[in-house]
Amino acid sequence: MAKHIQSLERAAAMLRLLGGGERRLGLSDIASALGLAKATAHGILRTLQHEGFVEQDPGSGRYQLGAELLRLGTTYLDVHELRARALVWTDDLARSGGEAVYLGVVHQHGVLIVHHVFRPDDSRQVLEVGAMQPMHSTALGKVLTAFDPVAHAELVEAEREAFTARTLTGLPEIERVLERTRAQGYATDLDETWEGVASVAAPIFDRHRLPVGAVGITGAVERVCKDGDLRPELVAAVRDTARSVSRDLGAKPF
């Protein structure tokens, strides 16, 4: 059996002690309850306080559980909350970009579409909320894979189908694209998933700077591309939207 790290065991014992009912405890109470020297207990408490797991009441000097501990259990962002927060921004992106907008999250080796705004013309369109898109070839998928380690692990294992002549399927070449995606902060898809369709997407971050989803705009190559690449103003608009949604979720400015 592996030897355990004593200071972590002590820290865990402190958290359990403070978590036993709604209470605040003084340093000497904590030290004596755990059979520790005051100095040792104080050192551990200070570390926990620094991490936000413990807070000290400024008036009494007593300790209690910190807000960060509560957040640990709830960092998971509900996708419907994500949609509600993104609604206004994605409407505006579709309106200004003149193309359809999608919001996607990682789900079972693919991208789950959680929000879709129609292209703002009078054409007949079908709501694609709930549909799945491939991870390795779409702009949404590439962004999620580039920024989310879980998605990346899934991509490595997943079968990578060649949808068009331009689809990248080899791991090394995909890794190069992901690296570029991380560097530039967005990803594109030019004829790589559907012939004649191009898209650009950017990541959405929460308050912990964790990637929680991606937003992208998709349209016919002849409308959204210029000189063989996505129009720069569309790229800028998508990135602005991603930043706005992230800001609404509490992410600090980039």
Partner 1 sequence: MTDSHSGPFIAAIDQGTTSSRCIIFDRDGRIVAVDQKEHEQIFPKPGWVEHDAAEIWRNVQEVVAGAMVKAGARRDDILSIGITNQRETTMLWDKHTGQPAHNAIVWQDTRTDQLCKQLGGDAGQDRWRRETGLPLAAYFAGPKIAWLLDNVDGLRAKAEAGDLLFGTMDSWVIWNLTGGVNGGVHVTDVTNASRTLLMNLEDLSWNEDIAAEMGVPLQVLPEIRSSSEIYGEVTGGTLGQLLGGVPVASALGDQQAALFGQTCFSTGEAKSTYGTGTFMLMNTGEKLIHSESGLLTTIGYRIGEQDPVYALEGSIAVTGSLVQWMRDQMGLISTAAEIETLALSVEDNGGAYFVPAFSGLFAPYWRSDARGVIAGLTRYVTKAHIARAVLEATAWQTREITDAMTKDSGVELSALKVDGGMTSNNLLMQFLADVLDAPVVRPMVAETTCLGAAYAAGLAVGFWNSTEDLRANWRRAAEWTPDMDSDLRDREYKNWLKAVERTMGWLED
* Shorter beta-carbon distance to partner 1: residue 117 or 135: 117
CB of 97 to partner 1, least distance (A): 6
CB of 239 to partner 1, least distance (A): 11
* Shorter beta-carbon distance to partner 1: residue 39 or 126: 126
Instruction: Give which of 49, 89, 80, 42 is closest to 65, Cα–Cα.
Output: 49
* Distance (Å, whole) CA 90 – CA 102: 8
CB of 231 to partner 1, least distance (A): 9
Looking at residue 10, its amino acid is: R
CB of 199 to partner 1, least distance (A): 16
CB of 118 to partner 1, least distance (A): 5
Q: DSSP of 174-216, one letter per residue?
A: HHHHHHHHHHHT-EEEESSSSTTEEEEEEEEE-TTS-EEEEEE
* Shorter beta-carbon distance to partner 1: residue 21 or 73: 73
Decide if 207 contacts 249 (C-beta within 8 A): yes
CB of 158 to partner 1, least distance (A): 25
* Shorter beta-carbon distance to partner 1: residue 118 or 163: 118
* Shorter beta-carbon distance to partner 1: residue 84 or 150: 84
What is the torsional sign of CA 185, 190, 192, 197?
positive
What end-to-end distance do the CA atoms of the chain give, in Å? 45
CB of 83 to partner 1, least distance (A): 6
* Shorter beta-carbon distance to partner 1: residue 44 or 234: 234
Looking at residue 210, its amino acid is: L
Question: Which backbone phi and psi does 163 adopt, to 5 degrees?
Answer: -80, -35
* Shorter beta-carbon distance to partner 1: residue 82 or 143: 82
Hey, is 15 helix, strand or coil?
helix
Binding residues for partner 1 (CB under 8 A): 74, 78-81, 83-84, 87-88, 91-92, 94-97, 115-118, 120, 122, 125-127, 129-130, 233-234, 236-237, 240
Residue ranges of alpha helices (H) inside the chain are: 6-19, 27-34, 38-50, 67-72, 79-97, 139-147, 149-157, 171-184, 221-224, 232-248
Q: How large is the angle between the packed helices 171-184 and 149-157, nearest 10 degrees? A: 160
